[in-house]
Amino acid sequence: MQSRPSLEHPVAQGPALLAWIQRDLPLLKPKMRGVAEQLVRQAATLHQQGIEDLAQQTRTTPATIVRLAKRYGFVGFSDLKVAFLPPAPDNAPLAALITRIQQDLPRLSPKMRKVGENLLGHSGTLHLQRIKPLAQQAGTTTTTIVRLAKRYGFVGFHDLKLAFLPAATGPQAATTLLNKNRL
């Protein structure tokens, strides 16, 4: 059996995660197995669902779904959904955002500069990061991270981290994910 990843290291995504879940099916308790089987069936459209929808379909609770997500190293259902998003063919928006942050660094306040440097340093795994540990790593507050996100046109940190998905997820999938229930 594959060991569980720690949150400091990227977890399996896409086909690798799907294969891992399929191998795990016989080891899961019945309710969790039902959720896992539904994830396998709906992997391509999982990003379009809310946690309540999935709980209703599988006759479980959101807590069961979150426990399953945590089993595979995710913080919650939102992060699990992100792992199933298909990559977009063009990552130009992400490249433009990174360039803009890099160009702005010298003009930012010291605290915001530290956050910007930290975001750029974690750009490949930012979509897996939580705001509090990131603030601690940057030696600042969560409020400063949210202010930086808003500076670049995002509603908050969650929206900013979606922009940093590997291979830059397409705008339609990201918009759909933002509009669904999150934990």
Each residue's pLDDT expressed in tens, for the chain with a length of 183 residues: 444 444 434 467 788 888 999 999 999 999 999 999 999 999 888 877 789 989 999 999 999 999 999 998 888 888 888 787 765 445 567 788 888 889 989 988 899 999 999 888 888 788 778 899 889 988 999 999 999 988 888 888 888 887 877 534 444 444 334 444 333
Same domain, 131 and 104: yes
Whether residue 110 is contained in a domain is answered as yes
CA distances from 75 to 26, 34, 120 (A): 23, 20, 21
| pTM to 2 decimal places | 0.49
Total tally of structural domains belonging to the chain: 2
Same domain, 79 and 96: no
Closest of 107, 28, 26, 115 to residue 64, by C-alpha: 28
Same domain, 64 and 103: no
Same domain, 32 and 72: yes
Whether residue 140 is contained in a domain is answered as yes
Same domain, 101 and 161: yes
* CATH number of domain containing 145: 1.10.10.10
According to the model, what pLDDT value does residue 86 have?
61
Whether residue 73 is contained in a domain is answered as yes
According to the model, what pLDDT value does residue 62 have?
94
According to the model, what pLDDT value does residue 145 have?
92
Q: Which amino acid is at 175?
A: T
- DSSP letter for 86, please: P
According to the model, what pLDDT value does residue 5 have?
43
Same domain, 59 and 107: no
Q: Residue 178 class from Cβ within 10 Å (0-12 exposed, 13-18 middle, 19+ buried)? A: middle
CA distances from 102 to 94, 95, 171, 182 (A): 12, 11, 22, 30
Q: Which domain holds residue 113?
A: 92-166
